[in-house]
Structure 1
Amino acid sequence: MPMVIGVVAGIAVGAVLVLIGVFKMMWRVAEPNEALIISGSKHRTEGLEEGMGFRIVTGRGTLVLPGVQAVRKLSLDLNETELHVDCVTHQGIPLKVRGVVIFKVGDDFVSIANAGRRFLDQQKLMSERVHNVFAGHLRSIVGGLTVEDMIRDREKLTGQTRAACGTEMEKLGLIVDSLQIHEIEDPTGYIQNLAMPHAAAVQRDARIAQAEANRLATEAEQQSFARMAEATRDSEILQAGYQAERDKAAAKAQQAGPLADAAARQEVVVQMTRVAELEAQRTEQQLQADVRKPADARAYEKRTIAEAERDARISAAQAKAKETELAAAAEATRVKTAAAAEAEATKARGTATAASTRATGEAEAAAAQAKGLAQAEATKAKGLAEAEAIKARAAALAENQEAVVAQQLAENWPEIVRAGASAFGNVDNMVVLNGADGMADMFAKALTMGGTGLGLARQLLASMNQNGQAPAGTSSLNGLAPQPPAQKVSVQED
């Protein structure tokens, strides 16, 4: 029995060891810098199309069936390739561009798949392929630039080259970590010639700077010499000052005895002056006690009495003012009451006066109205009478015009004669020949041959013919014939 158990245990241990060996043969682990590409079965990897025929494993382990699946490694390390490219610029100048490209396989599955298909068995040729890609694009880009552009802006050349190669590197599954242009060689010396003007300018500036430095050095030396002379002068001045102070001290030492004697006498005088001042102060205090204090006491007494009398007068005045104020208030109340009574009386009188005035006015208005009506009736009656008279006169004028005219002339003859006489109103002295006959003849002519009287008669007749009545004012023609002034007339008989 124990033998059987031992055999079984040995078989179990052997089986375990066999299983461990088989598992170890089937288990593959990808290093951090490599990718495992497992082919031999249908797999689907995220980010890749279905049915690629291989599986990609990075950073972990996986099981591989020996004899059924094959495992190969793709390095993810950095690679570099040197660039030695002969180029021609836009100006037709040949150049040699030297640089380096640092690249690697991309970390994503797409890049690993693209690189695995192209370089899995040809990883040593990867650098050559990258060199060829960059060399072609670098020649193309340099052909569009000038030498000056390449020298002044190498970053532009590098950027354009990386951008131009980006698509092709992506197809190859590679990424560029760095692209550096180390050197631009110029076999023709064009770059050196470009540098000559600048080198000459630099040399000129260097010479100018050296000359300026020499000038500044000379000025500094001169200033140093001047400061040395100034220091020497200051030292001599100080020495002279010290010597003067020594001489002064020696002189003071020689005069110390007389000065001490004078100082002693001065101290005696000061003490005597002090004693005199103390004596004066004592006298002043004695006067204060004997004279000023009693005088101040008497002044204080008088001032106190005066203030008491003033306060008494002020109190009396305030009492009198209060009494006057009360009396004024009482008088104001009385006046106010009397004024109110007087106002009521005046109001009553005004009301009565207004009523009386209104009644008087109404009576006067009634009287004026009656008087006006009476005057209107009288005027109306007078107008009717005058109208009847005019109507009768018009009828008479229509029947016997000459008789009516004769009557009007007879009634107004004095005024007519007066108007005729006004023709002679401005004559100061007139001589009439032929006596009374001459005078009569003259008046007749004045009345019949266009004189004022005849004109008045004609106006009267024209007015009567137009209106059928005598014009207003024919009863009195004094306004038409002004009174002539007294004339001096002399009559001479033949």
Structure 2
Amino acid sequence: MPMVVGVVAGVAVVAVLGLIGLFKMMWRVAEPNEALVISGSNHRTEGLEAGMGFRIVTGRGTMVMPGVQVVRKLSLDLNETELHVDCVTHQGIPLKVRGVVIFKVGDDFVSIANAARRFLDQQKLMSERVHNVFAGHLRSIVGGLTVEDMIRDREKLTGQTRAACGTEMEKLGLIVDSLQIHEIEDPTGYIKNMAMPHAAAVQRDARIAQAEANRLATEAEQASFARMAEATRDSEILQAGYQAERDKAGARARQAGPLADAASRQEVVVQETRVAELEAQRREQQLQADVRKPADAQAYEKRTLAEAERDARISAAQAKAKETELAAAAEATRVKAAAGAEAEATRARGEATAAATLATGEAEAASAQARGLAAAAAAKAQGLAEAEAIKARAAALAENQEAVVAQQLAENWPEIVKAGASAFGNVDNMVLLNGADGMADVFAKALTMGGTGLGLARQLLASMNQNGQSANGSPSLNGTANPPAQRVPVEEK
């Protein structure tokens, strides 16, 4: 019996130990920095779509059936990858960007599921994949920036890179804890050259500051030397003053006796002067009482009388001015009334004169119109008569031209003779050698040379022909011409 109990107890212990071993073999606990991915059965995890085929456990334990389910661990530790990216800026300048990315698998089930499906058996390649993602986006972002933008606002480069990679990292189930750009290398020396003006400006400012400091130090030294000289001068002046005081004291001691005598004499003179001043004041008061006060009284009396007389004259002048003003106002009123009456009379006379002038002008206009009509009728009749005469003369000229010319010569013979005689108008003395015959020859030559005779007849004929053509194509004989007389040369003795 005891043996049976021992066997049962041993079996029980073995069974308990087997159960404990089986439990330990089936129970899996996830560490704080890892996630358990259990596959092999149909599970549904909150936040994941149906049919994933695996279960995620973080921070707790779970039962796993050996041989049915497979448990694998996904690390949630931080990972880092260094960035060594060759980029080209918007200006076409090649740069080398050095940085580091610190990342990890996200703590939520969606991130763990995404990371598990991509990196569960390739966790060592996670850094390389992240490096490739960041390198591509970093090249793209640097290509849109300038070197100055990258240097002055490196945070902008970092932010744009993180924003550009965020979606892809989320698909990979990764989150970026930190992205740092450590260094931007410039193989072409562009950054160094860009910094040279600033470095030169800093050197210039440093030299200016040093020169200013030297100037201030020199001024301070000079001021110190000046103060030293001033102190020396003041000391010498004080010493000279003390010496002068000592000399003065000695001289005063030597002159004490003469000064005492002079002081006593001065006191006597002062007392005598005081007595003289008192005597002068007494005499002045006596003059005030005897002379000035009576004179002031007389002057006051005269001034008072003069002021009264002046006031009386002013009052009389004011009364006279008031009277004159009233008289002027009355005269002005009277003149104004007379001027108004005169203006009314003048206006009436002007209206009467204007009416008379209008009537006279109308009568004169009618008379002038009648005279103009009569003159026009007379001129018209005269013109018609002259036209008839010209027409008759033209007909006569056409029938007997020689007779008309002879008539014209006869009518104008006095002017012809006058023109021939004008040749002798400027002769004072004339000597004739052959008497009366000589005189006749002279007159004949004068008439011939003076343009009379046939020449005048021809001119008259030409004039008549021209006048006749100008008057309706008919010849006219109403024009005469006086040819200019020619001077006859006369022999004078």
Distance across 2 between alignment mates of 1:361 and 1:420 = 56
* Corresponding position of 1:492: 491
- CA deviation profile, 1:249-290 (whole Å, cap 9, x unmatched): 566567656655654554554455445434434443443344
8 Å contact kept, 1:38–1:72: yes
Q: Mapping of 1:95-134 within 5 angstroms?
A: none
Instruction: Give the C-alpha shift of residue 351 in structure 1.
Output: 2.6
Instruction: Give the C-alpha shift of residue 86 in structure 1.
Output: 23
Distance across 1 between alignment mates of 2:488 and 2:199 = 149
- CA deviation profile, 1:90-118 (whole Å, cap 9, x unmatched): 99999999999999998666888899999
Deviates more, 1:356-365 or 1:38-47: 38-47
Instruction: Give the C-alpha shift of residue 332 in structure 1.
Output: 1.1
8 Å contact kept, 2:87–2:142: yes
Change (3 A) 1:264 1:168: farther
8 Å contact kept, 2:97–2:184: yes
Instruction: Give the C-alpha shift of residue 425 in structure 1.
Output: 4.5
8 Å contact kept, 1:447–1:454: no
Deviates more, 1:395-404 or 1:211-220: 211-220
Distance across 2 between alignment mates of 1:393 and 1:90 = 118
Change (3 A) 1:40 1:234: farther
Instruction: Give the C-alpha shift of residue 460 in structure 1.
Output: 2.6
Instruction: Give the C-alpha shift of residue 156 in structure 1.
Output: 17
- CA deviation profile, 1:27-48 (whole Å, cap 9, x unmatched): 9999999999999997766677
Distance across 2 between alignment mates of 1:468 and 1:2 = 197
8 Å contact kept, 2:465–2:475: no
Change (3 A) 1:235 1:58: farther
Q: Mapping of 1:4-403 within 5 angstroms?
A: 249=249, 252=252, 259=259, 262-263=262-263, 266-267=266-267, 269-403=269-403
Distance across 1 between alignment mates of 2:229 and 2:238 = 14
Distance across 2 between alignment mates of 1:207 and 1:326 = 97
Distance across 2 between alignment mates of 1:75 and 1:201 = 54
Change (3 A) 1:94 1:335: closer
8 Å contact kept, 1:425–1:487: no
Distance across 1 between alignment mates of 2:78 and 2:100 = 13
Deviates more, 1:417-426 or 1:5-14: 5-14
Instruction: Give the C-alpha shift of residue 409 in structure 1.
Output: 3.0
Q: Which has the larger radius of gyration?
A: 1
TM-score computed with the length of structure 1 as normaliser: 0.52
Change (3 A) 1:469 1:105: closer
Report the secondary structure of 1:469's partner residue. helix
8 Å contact kept, 1:417–1:453: no
Distance across 2 between alignment mates of 1:309 and 1:137 = 120
Distance across 1 between alignment mates of 2:367 and 2:492 = 71
Instruction: Give the C-alpha shift of residue 403 in structure 1.
Output: 3.7
Report the secondary structure of 2:489's partner residue. strand
Distance across 1 between alignment mates of 2:247 and 2:346 = 121
Deviates more, 1:296-305 or 1:325-334: 296-305
8 Å contact kept, 1:463–1:471: no
Instruction: Give the C-alpha shift of residue 321 in structure 1.
Output: 0.6
8 Å contact kept, 2:45–2:56: yes
Change (3 A) 1:323 1:458: same
Deviates more, 1:78-87 or 1:334-343: 78-87
Instruction: Give the C-alpha shift of residue 318 in structure 1.
Output: 1.1
Change (3 A) 1:456 1:286: same
8 Å contact kept, 2:86–2:95: yes
Change (3 A) 1:345 1:17: farther
Report the secondary structure of 1:442's partner residue. helix
Change (3 A) 1:271 1:344: same
Instruction: Give the C-alpha shift of residue 330 in structure 1.
Output: 0.8
Distance across 1 between alignment mates of 2:54 and 2:405 = 166
Instruction: Give the C-alpha shift of residue 346 in structure 1.
Output: 2.1
Instruction: Give the C-alpha shift of residue 303 in structure 1.
Output: 2.0
Distance across 1 between alignment mates of 2:487 and 2:155 = 147
Distance across 2 between alignment mates of 1:124 and 1:51 = 28
Q: State the superposition RMSD in angstroms.
A: 11.7
Report the secondary structure of 2:52's partner residue. coil
Instruction: Give the C-alpha shift of residue 152 in structure 1.
Output: 19
Change (3 A) 1:11 1:314: farther
Q: Number of aligned pairs? A: 493
Change (3 A) 1:260 1:457: same
Distance across 1 between alignment mates of 2:325 and 2:212 = 107
Change (3 A) 1:279 1:132: same
Deviates more, 1:207-216 or 1:115-124: 207-216
Change (3 A) 1:114 1:294: farther
Instruction: Give the C-alpha shift of residue 161 in structure 1.
Output: 16
8 Å contact kept, 2:468–2:474: no
8 Å contact kept, 2:460–2:479: no
Distance across 1 between alignment mates of 2:424 and 2:91 = 140
8 Å contact kept, 1:429–1:488: no
Deviates more, 1:14-23 or 1:411-420: 14-23
Instruction: Give the C-alpha shift of residue 167 in structure 1.
Output: 14
Report the secondary structure of 1:430's partner residue. coil
8 Å contact kept, 1:430–1:490: no
Distance across 2 between alignment mates of 1:207 and 1:472 = 117
Instruction: Give the C-alpha shift of residue 305 in structure 1.
Output: 2.5
Distance across 2 between alignment mates of 1:93 and 1:404 = 125
Change (3 A) 1:36 1:341: same
- CA deviation profile, 1:393-441 (whole Å, cap 9, x unmatched): 4444444444444333333333333333344545555554554344445
Report the secondary structure of 1:489's partner residue. coil
Instruction: Give the C-alpha shift of residue 472 in structure 1.
Output: 17
Report the secondary structure of 1:472's partner residue. coil
8 Å contact kept, 2:394–2:475: no
Change (3 A) 1:456 1:42: same
Distance across 1 between alignment mates of 2:185 and 2:366 = 144
Deviates more, 1:392-401 or 1:143-152: 143-152
Instruction: Give the C-alpha shift of residue 148 in structure 1.
Output: 22
Deviates more, 1:404-413 or 1:131-140: 131-140
Change (3 A) 1:490 1:28: closer
Distance across 2 between alignment mates of 1:196 and 1:474 = 116
Distance across 2 between alignment mates of 1:325 and 1:280 = 62
Change (3 A) 1:447 1:333: same
Change (3 A) 1:338 1:397: same
- CA deviation profile, 1:281-328 (whole Å, cap 9, x unmatched): 444344334433343333233223222221221121111111101101
Distance across 2 between alignment mates of 1:348 and 1:449 = 78
Distance across 2 between alignment mates of 1:110 and 1:415 = 150
- CA deviation profile, 1:161-202 (whole Å, cap 9, x unmatched): 999999999999999999999999999999999999999999
Unaligned runs of 5+ in 1: none
8 Å contact kept, 1:390–1:469: no
Distance across 1 between alignment mates of 2:390 and 2:131 = 154
8 Å contact kept, 1:97–1:183: yes
- CA deviation profile, 1:437-457 (whole Å, cap 9, x unmatched): 444455456556884233222
Change (3 A) 1:323 1:117: same
8 Å contact kept, 2:430–2:491: no
8 Å contact kept, 2:451–2:484: no
